[in-house]
Amino acid sequence: MRYDDARLDRALAALTLEEPPPDLRARILLATVHRRVPVFQTWELWMLGGALALCAWIVAALVAAPQTADEAVRATASIVGNVAVGLLDPALAMWVGIGALAALAFGLSESALAAFRRERP
Amino acid sequence: MAVISGISDQDLIVGALAGNGEAFGVLVERYERAVYNLCLRMLRNVEDAKDATQEAFLKAYRALRTFKLGARFSTWILTIAYNASCDRLAKRKHDSGVELPERADQRPGPAEEIEREDEARALRRAIDTLPEKYRAVITLYHLQGLQYDDIALILGLPMGTVKTHLFRGKELLRQRLSSESEDDGVCNMVLA
């Protein structure tokens, strides 16, 4: 039997969409809106674990040798003092300021550009 | 869900972006059938079609913020579904070397609909034998009732190519259905 244009068009027009399996919608919703978001992301758990391990190591080191605490305080004070003296240098302070302003300007322009793109139809 | 079923797609998207899961659920309800049928015709396998449909909605959900309000959600979700299906077809070809002519839709209809269903089944089977570019265009145009410009957007093709694919696809379909009918006739003669 020859399928002519009219017969094929009729057959195609009569062809209906198939019903999706009954569990499909539930599967989609479970993967999207009903998805349980974990309290912490994996990288956050790693960071938290690392920070806790560092704290435990410091506490253990201080307990093992109490005199190291004084040395640690002195070393920290020395570092902070050196940084403060460095920042008081006008040339360094100027370059730090320029860098911060450039970063701020770049960030603001990016945000403005993103907002402009969102508003365009 | 019935209360918000009359709301436009745009408002549902705004609602979903504001964290209203029910709004996205209505979008899933509206387009699940169209997306599933496109994936099914492309992949010719129910399980793969289910996975591709779920993947398409998941991608859409994650990328909802990038959706341009004013565009059509139907075109967007079908584009995502088409790309998801193409990725699966490419993976299938890569894994096996050939595209599997798998077909899981072999369920017979009720007895009184068998004759009508026979033609529909033969037509679906014939569509499934077409190259994927023709399969996609015929599914979107004839089964989903989309316009040429929407199909061109979804498939990322010029409108002229869509029309050419549709013409050639129908020509191939006609040839295959005609030869199938002739084969059936020969079988019937032999059986008689």
Separation CA A80–CA B49 (nearest Å):
62
Out of A38-52, A83-97, B144-158, least confident range: A83-97
Q: What CA–CA distance (Å, rounded) separates B28 from B12?
A: 11
- Adjacent-strand bridge partners of B71: B69
Half-sphere exposure of A4 (CA within 13 A, CB side): 1
Task: Delimit the domains of chain B by residue range.
Answer: 1-105, 111-192
Q: What is the pLDDT of residues B37-93, one digit of tens each?
A: 999 999 999 999 999 999 999 999 999 999 988 899 999 999 999 999 999 999 888
Statement: residue B116 has pLDDT above 70 = no
Distance of CA A9 to the CA centre of its chain: 53
Which element (helix H / strand E) includes B164?
helix B159-191
The Cα B27–Cα B30 span in angstroms is: 5
CATH value of B111-192 in 1.25.40.10, 1.10.10.10, 3.10.620.30, 1.20.1250.20:
1.10.10.10
Q: How far is CA A17 from CA A20, A40, A61, A117, B34, in A?
A: 9, 42, 70, 37, 7
Q: What is the Cα–Cα distance from A19 to B32, expressed in whole angstroms?
A: 9
- ipTM over the 0.90 cut-off: no
- CB-based contact A32:B57 (threshold 8 Å): yes
A28: nearest CA partner in chain B = B54
Chain B residue with CA closest to A4: the answer is: B174
Task: Check CB contact of B131 with chain A, cutoff 8 Å.
Answer: no
Q: Which residues pair with B69 in a beta bridge?
A: B71
pLDDT at A25: 94
- Between the two ends of chain A, the Cα-to-Cα distance in Å is 52
Q: How confident is the model at residue B7 (pLDDT cuts 50, 70, 90)?
A: confident
Scored b (16 or more CB within 10 A) or e, B39-66 reads bbbbbbbbebbbbbbbbbbbbbbeebee
Q: Does B170 touch chain A (CB under 8 A)?
A: yes
Whether A115 has a pLDDT exceeding 80, the answer reads no
- Map residue B71 onto helix, strand or coil: strand
CA distance B150 to A108: 37
A115 inside 8 A of chain B by CB: no
Mean pLDDT, rounded, of chain B:
84
Question: At A72, is the pLDDT very low, low, confident or very high (cuts 50, 70, 90)?
Answer: confident
> Across the interface, do B58 and A14 touch by the CB < 8 Å criterion?
no
Residue type, B30: R
Residues B18-36, mean pLDDT to the nearest whole number: 93
Residue indicated by tokens 């009918």: B181
Does the beta carbon of A36 lie under 8 angstroms from any beta carbon of chain B? no
pTM metric for this prediction: 0.66
- Per-residue model confidence (pLDDT) at position B191: 40
Statement: residue A61 has pLDDT above 60 = yes
A116/B contact by beta carbon, under 8 A: no
Partner A contacted by B142 (CB < 8 A)? yes
Token pair for A108: 């603001």
> Is A33 within 8 Å of chain B by CB?
yes
CA dihedral B127, B129, B132, B138 (to 10 degrees): -10
Which of A4, A10, A16, A18 to mutate to test binding with chain B, by most B CBs within 10 Å of its CB? A18
Nearest to B123 among A11, A17, A27 (CB): A11
**Is CATH 1.10.1740.10 correct for B1-105?**
yes
Judge whether B137 and B162 are in contact, CB under 8 Å.
yes
Q: Helix B21-43 vs helix B73-96: angle between axes, to the nearest 10 degrees?
A: 40
